[in-house]
Amino acid sequence: MPISPLPLLQGTLDLIVLRTVALGPIHGYGVAALVRERSNGELAIEDAALYQALHRLDRQGLIDAEWRPSENNRRARYYELTPLGRKRLAEQAVHWRRYARALDALLKGM
Amino acid sequence: MSQRRPFWYLRRSRRLVASEIDEELSFHLERRIDELEASGLSRDAARLEALQQFGDVETTRRYCRRQAEQKEKRMRLGLMVGDLIQDLQISVRSLARAPVLALTIVATVGLGIGATAAMFAVVDAALFRPLPYAAPGELVRIYTDTPPYRFRFSQADYLALEAQQTTFTQIAGYTERAAAFTDGQVAERLRGRVVSWSYFDLLGLKPALGRAFTAADGQAASAPAVIVSHQFWQQRMSGRADAIGRSVRLDGIDYLVTGVLPASAGPLEFQQDFFIAARWDTPRRKGPFFIITLGRLADSARASAAAELRAINRRIFPLWRSSYQDERATWSLVDLKESLVSDFKSAGHLSLGAVALVWLIACVNASNLLVARITSRRRELAVRSALGASRSRLVRYLLAESAVLAFSAAAVGVVLARVGIGLVQRFGDVFVPRAAEIALAGRALWVLVIVTAISAAIFGLVPALHGTGGPVDEGLRSLGRSSTGNLRVRRLRQLLVSSQFAVATPLLIVGGLLVGSLNNLKRVDLGFDSSNLLTGYIALPRAEYREVGQQVAFWTELRQRVERLPGVTGVTFVDSRPPQDAGNQNNFNLEASPTPAGQSEPVTTWVAVTPEYFPLLKIKLLKGRLLQDSDDGEGVPPVIVVDQAWENRFFPGQGAVGKRLWSGGCSTCPLTTVVGVVSGVKYDGLDAAEMGTVYSSLPQRGADVDGSRARYIMLRTASDPAAVLPSLRRTLRDLDPSLPLSRVATIDDLVVQSLQVPQTLSLLIGALSVVALVLSVVGIYGVMAHYVQQIAKDISIRLALGGAPAGVLRLIVGKGLLLVGAGVAAGVVMAFAAARFMSSLFFGVSSADPLTFAGVVAVLMGAALVACWLPAARAISVEPASVLRND
């Protein structure tokens, strides 16, 4: 029986999306595929949630979108980090690493 | 964010936003289906799987749309602000390339805005705003009315009115009173009022400390009471909290302080230091008339109150017949505010009108300059338009330029208005009633905003609408060298210039009439030698100089001591001061032609002097003799000296010497004889017609009347009077240290002072007229220069074909003068009406003075002629071939 994927921790979805978009101009499908691939199916993220996060981040000015032709010649919306988004990603990454370290240390000590 | 958005997708509609989201989501789903199908699922299974993996498509779509729409909204706002900032940046840059133009417009329009706002604040405080009293609409002033004179109430009148009236809710009276305030060593003369106990109650003024007067304060039984001003309390009682109940010494009498007024009271309390509770008892005779009477009554009761006033006056008339016979005199009432500010009305309206006109001219001038600027920029605008800028975008761009100018002008205006209001508050209380209430706030601020907005619209919208009309290619094709220019724009500029002159003309004419009046005033013959005459006022307190003997001794001793001072060549005492301080107006009945019963006796200025007065002032004796010391003795029949105007008025062609009269309406008193006629002197102001003056002896040994206790000392000095002043003060102090010398002035100072109001007004209007003239001439010069430049080719062709330069010159100048002439003609018509409306401000010139009108028209046309001639002469002096070659 396969292990069921992990439910997402509060607040991590935006960080995941920012980190993925940081890889360069990328469309929503690409983000979904990358997340699935990188997390080895360990994270249960619906595509719906991903798109909602993309548009939310767009509205917040953390990422910016532009229509471009895609690999199969249909146009797609490509996302990129804005300078503000880059800054937010760096902050959030540090934050989560500290959190994970602290939690890890705590768990080891028990 | 907004700055990253490429310019081509400026605006996305809601529909576009929605369809983009749909497209994005379907792109995802189709890719996923393809991928799953490739991994071996059937098409239908792949679709199901993809949808399941995706989750709730509908919710996501709605959520994403909402996010996108919010972003769009913010972006649009950002774009608008961005555009605005860009417009303003472009404007500032392009104006900086034309600094003279920009500075001219900002300075002139700023001046106009500032002056208009400041003057409105002044006029608003003085004329428009209700008085700062409780229910000010109910307040009236009550007069004794004998046309053409209006005068005050006597004690008898006031008490009768107070006792008998039923329609007023309250009656109050007051009179001026100057008093020496003594505080240990210092003696100061302070201004104040004696007020009926009901005064503060009537006005609704509550003291900040203590209480207002009550009926008991008006009774002789209670201690003398005073309410002091905030300023008095601060400066002379050092603002102590326990001031109430302390006593202050005024003219040697101790008054109990019952109240302190708030810092800002009303115009009636302005610059008054103290208010003494009056104790008016029933007098023995009807006069004198010294009480200013106020009333409060419901608006609806005005008519019945007027009737009641007449009835009471009629009722008490028989009681006083022995001392007052003028049966025509009646009582009437007028709005209190009206009575306070009516003197300022003409001058205030004129000043406000004048600054508003200058503002208007400045705006028109700015508009004119900007039209010229836009015409010369038609090419630039046409290029922008060809590149896709919409007409509204161009208008907005031009408006932004106007807005930059308008806001700069407004900034200049606010500064000027503040400075102006400050100056008026400090120095203006001579000219302006209620100066203390002036502020750049409330309505005045609104006027500033509105005036600024109108300025921006006048000099923005008009040129903008004219700069962008017409097909694009026309502007491009002509490339700025069209030989005729845009006819519409030229017509507009011509109209603007004409209207400038139409507005400037009445301003200059009124200014000219005012300057003429001032000159006439300055030329008025005072009737005596005014050089090196020093005067000051001395009042002996009743408490310390009760006996007539004490008073006489004091005056005699003072005169003897002052006469001995070095530099003093003569001393006299008098109760009046030329040119504008008549001690008394007195009525009398001529023995030769008695006034019929029931009619007003004649009234003239009545000056009481000591005999040295005439030689000291070098007043010429024309007939008979002067007053002598021996005229003022007990049992000596009273005598007077009259002036030429008096003789001409009452005894034309017969001579007044030897004629007799009853003075003061007292038919039982001994007859007074005219013993001499002297040359005239001005006592009622330089602008007053001479109605005759009577000189009587200042009582030396007579009864205890006002003239025996208070009078001016007047001395002639060998050189600068200021040098003698310290020794005069010292002499007075040696004699009685508690007596202040007040109202110190030389007669020349007083002459200058009496000219202050007309001088300031004519200076103000004159300066505004000059500004208007300069702006108008600049306007016509600009228009003509532009016109000549546009028809340069035509001129050259004419000249090349042998046309006479003089003819061309005449043609151009004639065209300019036609424009100016039309404006001036309209202006002259307006000036006729305006000058008539304010004829009370002129002296010695008619409001339709042909010389002034002709002079102003000549100056305007002359200046315009030069302004038209200069560009025309330049045009015909150019070699025709060079113009044609350049084309």
CB < 8 Å to A61, chain B: 1
A77 touches chain B (CB under 8 A): yes
CB < 8 Å to A58, chain B: 67-68, 71
How far apart CA B394 and CA B600 sit, in angstroms, is: 76
* Interchain CB distance below 8 Å, A59 and B4: no
Per mean pLDDT, which range of B293-302, B315-324, B631-640, B683-692 is the poorest? B315-324
Per-residue pLDDT at A10 exceeds 70:
no
How far apart CA B309 and CA B171 sit, in angstroms, is: 12
Q: What is the pLDDT of residue B8?
A: 40
* Interchain CB distance below 8 Å, B27 and A74: yes
At B818, is the pLDDT very low, low, confident or very high (cuts 50, 70, 90)? very high
* Interchain CB distance below 8 Å, A29 and B27: yes
Dihedral of the alpha carbons of B101, B105, B108, B113, in degrees to the nearest 10:
-170
| A72 min Cα distance to partner chain B (Å) | 9
CB < 8 Å to B60, chain A: 48, 51-52
Q: Which element (helix H / strand E) includes B533?
A: strand B533-539
- Give the SS3 label for residue B589: strand
Per mean pLDDT, which range of A100-109, B158-167, B219-228, B383-392 is the poorest? B383-392
Q: Where are the beta strands (DSSP E) in B683-762?
A: 693-697, 710-717, 742-746
- Cβ-Cβ contacts under 8 Å for B738 (sequence gap 6 or more): B180, B182, B187, B252, B541, B544
At B467, is the pLDDT very low, low, confident or very high (cuts 50, 70, 90)? low
Per-residue pLDDT at B701 exceeds 50:
no
Q: What is the pLDDT of residue B7?
A: 40
Per residue in B647-671, pLDDT (tens digit) is 999 999 888 999 999 887 677 778 8
Per residue in B239-258, pLDDT (tens digit) is 888 889 898 988 778 899 99
How far apart CA B37 and CA B43 sit, in angstroms, is: 6
Mean pLDDT of B229-244: 88
CB < 8 Å to A72, chain B: 31
How far apart CA B832 and CA B823 sit, in angstroms, is: 15
CB < 8 Å to B55, chain A: 46-49
Which residue, among A107, A64, A39, A75, has the nearest Cα to B4 in the 3D structure? A64
Q: CB–CB of B245/B256 below 8 Å?
A: yes
| B88 min Cα distance to partner chain A (Å) | 27
Are β-strands A26-27 and A75-81 bridged in parallel, bridged antiparallel, or unpaired? antiparallel
Q: What is the pLDDT of residue B150?
A: 80
CB < 8 Å to A28, chain B: 24, 27-28
| B12 min Cα distance to partner chain A (Å) | 13
At B483, is the pLDDT very low, low, confident or very high (cuts 50, 70, 90)? very low
- Give the SS3 label for residue B14: helix
Ordered by start, the domain boundaries in chain B are: 2-96, 136-341, 349-523+756-886, 533-753
Burial zone of B551 (CB within 10 Å; 0-12 exposed, 13-18 middle, 19+ buried): buried
Burial zone of B417 (CB within 10 Å; 0-12 exposed, 13-18 middle, 19+ buried): buried
Q: Could you give the count of Cα atoms lying within 13 Å of B701 in the half-sphere of its Cβ?
A: 8
Per residue in A47-88, pLDDT (tens digit) is 899 999 999 999 998 999 888 888 878 889 999 999 999 999
Q: Is B658 left (phi over 0), alpha (psi -120 to 50) or beta?
A: left
Residue A61: closest CA among chain B residues belongs to which residue? Answer: B1
In the predicted model, what is the mean pLDDT of chain B?
Answer: 84
Per-residue pLDDT at B6 exceeds 50:
no
| Chain B contact probe: residue of A57, A59, A84 with most B CBs at under 10 A | A59
CB < 8 Å to B32, chain A: 29, 32, 47
Burial zone of A26 (CB within 10 Å; 0-12 exposed, 13-18 middle, 19+ buried): buried
Dihedral pair phi/psi, residue B588, rounded to 5°: -155, 165
- Give the SS3 label for residue B455: helix
Alpha helix locations (H) across B257-335? 302-316
* Interchain CB distance below 8 Å, B54 and A47: yes
Omega before A5 within 30 of 0, i.e. cis: no
Q: What is the pLDDT of residue B479?
A: 45
Q: What is the pLDDT of residue A93?
A: 92
Beta bridge partners of B154: B289
Dihedral pair phi/psi, residue A62, rounded to 5°: -85, -30
Domains, in order of start, for chain A: 12-109 (1.10.10.10)
Are β-strands B621-624 and B247-250 bridged in parallel, bridged antiparallel, or unpaired? unpaired
Are β-strands B639-643 and B693-697 bridged in parallel, bridged antiparallel, or unpaired? antiparallel
A76 touches chain B (CB under 8 A): yes
Mean pLDDT of B165-178: 90
Residue with tokens 């043609």: B811
- Give the SS3 label for residue B313: helix
How far apart CA B131 and CA B109 sit, in angstroms, is: 33
What angle is formed at CA B817 by the lines to CA B814 and CA B822, rounded to 5 degrees?
Answer: 125
Compare CB distances from A47 to B21, B28, B68 and report the shortest one's residue: B28
Residue B57: closest CA among chain A residues belongs to which residue? Answer: A48
Per residue in B58-88, pLDDT (tens digit) is 999 999 999 998 888 888 888 778 878 888 8
- Give the SS3 label for residue B408: helix
How far apart CA B557 and CA B515 sit, in angstroms, is: 47
- Give the SS3 label for residue B712: strand
**Got the DSSP string for B817-862?**
HHHHHHHHHHHHHHHHHHHHHTGGG-SSS-TT-HHHHHHHHHHHHH
Report field, pTM of the whole predicted structure over 0.80: no
Amino acid identity of residue B55, one-letter, is: G
Which residue, among B336, B277, B342, has the nearest Cα to B131 in the 3D structure? B336
- CA dist B699 → B631, B632, B669, B677, B696 (Å): 10, 7, 16, 20, 9
SS (H, E, C) B25-68: HHHHHHHHHHHHHHCCCCHHHHHHHHHHHHCCHHHHHHHHHHHH
| End-to-end Cα separation, chain B, in angstroms | 51
At B484, is the pLDDT very low, low, confident or very high (cuts 50, 70, 90)? very low
Neighbours of B377 (CB within 10 A): 17
Per mean pLDDT, which range of B425-434, B526-535, B628-637, B810-819 is the poorest? B425-434
How far apart CA B151 and CA B158 sit, in angstroms, is: 13
Amino acid identity of residue B814, one-letter, is: G
Give percent of chain B above pLDDT 90.
30
Across B108-141, b (16+ Cβ under 10 Å) vs e yields bbbbbbbbbbbbbbbbbbbbebebbbeebebbbb
CB < 8 Å to A26, chain B: none
CB < 8 Å to A56, chain B: 67
CB < 8 Å to B1, chain A: 61, 64, 82
Q: What is the pLDDT of residue B482?
A: 45
* Interchain CB distance below 8 Å, A82 and B71: no
Q: Which element (helix H / strand E) includes B519?
A: helix B487-523
* Interchain CB distance below 8 Å, B67 and A56: yes
Per residue in B11-42, pLDDT (tens digit) is 667 888 888 899 999 999 999 899 889 988 89
Alpha helix locations (H) across B97-198? 99-123, 155-164
B26 touches chain A (CB under 8 A): no
Compare CB distances from B24 to A64, A77, A82 and report the shortest one's residue: A77
Q: Could you give the count of Cα atoms lying within 13 Å of A22 in the half-sphere of its Cβ?
A: 15
Mean pLDDT of B252-273: 87
| B54 min Cα distance to partner chain A (Å) | 4
| End-to-end Cα separation, chain A, in angstroms | 30
Q: CB–CB of B606/B626 below 8 Å?
A: no
How far apart CA B444 and CA B767 sit, in angstroms, is: 23
State the complex-level ipTM.
Answer: 0.91
Per residue in B313-354, pLDDT (tens digit) is 888 888 877 767 667 788 999 999 888 888 788 888 888 999
How far apart CA A11 and CA A17 sit, in angstroms, is: 11
| A12 min Cα distance to partner chain B (Å) | 19
Give percent of chain B above pLDDT 70.
92
A29 touches chain B (CB under 8 A): yes
Across the A:B interface, residue pairs with CB atoms under 8 Å apart total 66
Per-residue pLDDT at B704 exceeds 50:
no
- CA dist B564 → A55, B571, B727 (Å): 104, 10, 11
Across A87-106, b (16+ Cβ under 10 Å) vs e yields ebbeebeeeeeeeeeeeeee
Torsion sign, CA atoms B155, B159, B164, B166: positive
Which residue, among B487, B699, B477, has the nearest Cα to B610 in the 3D structure? B699
* Interchain CB distance below 8 Å, A48 and B54: yes
Q: CB–CB of B290/B152 below 8 Å?
A: yes
Per-residue pLDDT at B480 exceeds 50:
no
Which has the higher per-residue pLDDT, B617 or B220?
Answer: B617
How far apart CA B770 and CA B15 sit, in angstroms, is: 63
| B43 min Cα distance to partner chain A (Å) | 19
Mean pLDDT of B523-529: 88
How far apart CA B140 and CA B97 sit, in angstroms, is: 61
Omega before B579 within 30 of 0, i.e. cis: yes
* Interchain CB distance below 8 Å, A52 and B64: yes
CB < 8 Å to B36, chain A: none
Per residue in B348-380, pLDDT (tens digit) is 888 899 999 999 888 888 888 887 777 667 777
| Chain B contact probe: residue of A17, A47, A86 with most B CBs at under 10 A | A47
Residue with tokens 């804005």: A82
